[in-house]
Amino acid sequence: MGNASGTIVNVDILVPNQTRYLGLMGNIAEQVAKELDVFTGDRDTLAYHLNLAVTEAMVNAIQNTSPDDAKKAVRVCMHIEDENLCIRVYDHGQGFDLNAVPTPDFEELNERGRGIFLIRALMDSVDYRKTECGNVLEMRKKLT
């Protein structure tokens, strides 16, 4: 996975639009974190954070996809770009306004918006936009 000039990571995975694949994708994100030789911080913490962020992003993607589109896949891409680990999670739903997601009330157990709040807390930047390939939640983590 690595070479003399640093790790090259280019992961592009399609999984069915089902929650049973959350653990698999979280584990893949953890393994990517453990292979990043350019990262100098706490690797175990990074692995845990990436697992959480990818899992939450996938939950969002699945929730945003209408039941009619249940056969559509969720696409997760991870690569290194300008000393950032860039993770993109694509969905085929209606989309949402990232800036309109309220900070959750943690007294309410079923509060929507908790996933986005967590992702924002764990990652260095979060963006959500429509593309030709569907909606994409883009998360970046600085590696240096």
Give the model's pLDDT for residue 36. 86
Would you call 56 helix, strand, or coil by DSSP? helix
CA 27 to chain centre: 12
Of 23, 84, 72, nearest in space to 52 by CA: 23
- Tell me the one-letter amino acid at 74: V
Give the model's pLDDT for residue 26. 96
Low-confidence residues of the chain, pLDDT below 50?
A: 1-5
95 dihedral zone (left: phi>0; alpha: psi -120 to 50; beta): left
Tokens representing 67 are 């039941």
Strand segments, DSSP code E, in 4-118 are: 6-7, 10-16, 73-81, 84-91
